[in-house]
Homo-oligomer: A and B are copies of this chain.
Amino acid sequence: MNKNDKILIIGAGLCGSLLALRLAQRGYKVEMYESRPDLRTTDISAGRSINLALSDRGFKALRLCGVEDKAREICISMYGRLMHDTKGNTFASNYSGRENEYINSISRGDLNGILLTEAEKHKNVNIHFNKKCTSVDIENTIAHFKDYKTKEEFSINAEVIFGTDGAGSVLRKSYYLEKKFLFSYAQNYLNHGYKELEIPADNSGKHQISNQHLHIWPRGDFMLIALPNLDGSFTVTLFLSYDEGEYNFNNLTSEEKITQFFEQEFPDALALIPKIKEEFLNNPTGALGTVKCSPWSYQNNTILLGDAAHAIVPFYGQGMNASFEDVTVFDEILEKGLSNWNLIFKTFEKERKQDTDAIADLAIDNFYEMRDHVANPLFKEKRKIEMDLEKHFPNQYSSKYSMVTFNDEIGYNEAMKKGRAQDKALLNLIADDEVHTHLNMSKEELKVILEKVKVETNNILEEDKIAGL
């Protein structure tokens, strides 16, 4: 591997653009191909979420590439969840007891635009739009494309191909179909799909509900969420089963039934979504899938990164952050100066895979937590204690959520293992009446709880270890 190797990146989405930028900064020659038109000059939503949650792991990668400040300019801070019940009553639940820990709503398109523009400032980067990769000959490192405008088909031969072509990756499909090696591969769909709706800004361009929160209408078998946009609107997403329950995507086909469903379950949201019927019937229903696979790379020549290697469901707000963290970790491996791409690729996967597997599992866990547990008394008491612990012992306690979201020095896998044990410890201490909460806990009372949680968490981890878990 050397700086003159011709590098081909398939997919100029968030991960591909950031990778191109970083490789360019390191002096590599990058050709990047994207199937969609340039989103800076064309209005495309392509059925994808309009806004996403950006947090510390994402910022760390953006910082590495010198674009953190530009991204922060278009962020809206969300300090916690605001839960809405069926009567329209709300209650808030902060993401952290530490004041400087919050997540950010950011426009996918605007952020992608910033990254493309920064990448293009480097003369060793060329970006080609409207060119769809149709397959990759992994043995010969040749990618086949079709130009959406001219309809021409053409092929690109490269030294190295990075597949950052998302959850439906063509490079990954070529791994599966070519059968050059034993390819472990999993695609798992939830029985729920999603549909995006909109709460517009008010007449003065302001947000109609708190823009400092991620809004949730948890209903057990389904839920609605809303994230704020800079223009005063909210992107609302309904998560609902395709075919189970009284109301589902398969049977919500008439305006009457849609209205009935929202009136019954989300009356306060319904009042803010003027185009509910039109949007519900016309916007696509998206699938929610997790992709895991291994190996990510083939020989010296191709590797999957980002969603192409590890697509996850959106419920931890970590999809983009995990893909950006891929770039951070890949860059650390590049820094080691290993002798060939194969070694770089294998080292990267060995370092990274346990973490991307973990965030995939955590995201599924959070699907159930957000739909259900957030309104559960035991869970609420646990969150109350955790906020107090984080506030009074900021250097001694971090909840699972905080470890995953705000602690980029801990890998996802470690955060998952420790966080799950800690959750189990705390929930059992509460259920067994070994810890009690009241409105104004003293620091001394909290200290006792902190010590109990630590002891119990370590016991749980130790017992699992003895059992070989």
Binding site for B on A (CB under 8 A): 182-189, 242, 287, 289, 292, 368, 373, 378, 420, 423-424, 427-428, 431, 463-464, 466-469
Q: In whole angstroms, what is the CA distance A119 to B185 when docked? A: 36
CB distance B189 to A182 under 8 Å? Answer: yes
Q: Pick the residue among B183, B186, B463, B468 that contacts A185 (CB under 8 A).
A: B186
A287 to B182, Cβ gap below 8 A? Answer: yes
- Bound form: Cα–Cα A189–B431 in Å: 41
Q: How many copies does the complex hold?
A: 2
Bound CA span A467–B368, Å: 13
- Which residues from chain B contact A431 at a C-beta distance below 8 Å? 466
Contacts of A189 in B (CB 8 A): 182-184
Docked pose: A224 CA to B141 CA in angstroms:
39
| Closest beta carbon of chain B to A430's beta carbon, Å | 9
Q: Choose among B188, B420, B469 the residue that contacts A424 (Cβ–Cβ < 8 A).
A: B469
Q: Which of B242, B427, B467 contacts A428 (CB 8 A)?
A: B467
A469: which B residues are within 8 A, CB to CB? Answer: 424
Given A373-B468, A423-B467, A467-B428, are A185 and B184 neighbors across the interface (CB < 8 Å)?
Answer: no
Docked Cα-Cα span, A423 to B463, in Å, equals 11
Hey, which chain B residues are within 8 Å of A466, CB to CB? 378, 424, 427-428, 431
Contact at B188–A187, with CB atoms within 8 Å? no
Which residues of the partner chain B approach A467 to less than 8 Å between Cβ atoms?
420, 423-424, 427-428
- In the bound complex, what is the Cα–Cα distance between A242 and B378 (angstroms)? 48
CB distance from A418 to the nearest CB of B (A): 14
Are B187's CB and A187's CB within 8 A?
A: no
Complex A-B: 15 CB contacts under 8 Å: A182-B189, A182-B242, A182-B287, A183-B189, A184-B187, A184-B189, A185-B185, A185-B186, A186-B186, A186-B187, A368-B468, A423-B467, A424-B466, A424-B469, A427-B468
Residues of B within 8 A of A185 (CB): 185-188
Chain B residues lying within 8 Å of A424, measured Cβ to Cβ, are 463-464, 466-467, 469
Q: Which chain B residues border A183 with CB–CB below 8 Å?
A: 187, 189
Q: Which chain B residue lies CB-closest to A182? A: B189
CB distance from A381 to the nearest CB of B (A): 12
CA A212 – CA B427 in complex, angstroms? 49
The residues of B that contact A464 with a CB separation of less than 8 Å are: 424
Which of B188, B368, B373 has a CB less than 8 Å from the CB of A186?
B188
Once the chains are docked, how many angstroms separate the CA of A464 from the CA of B425?
A: 10
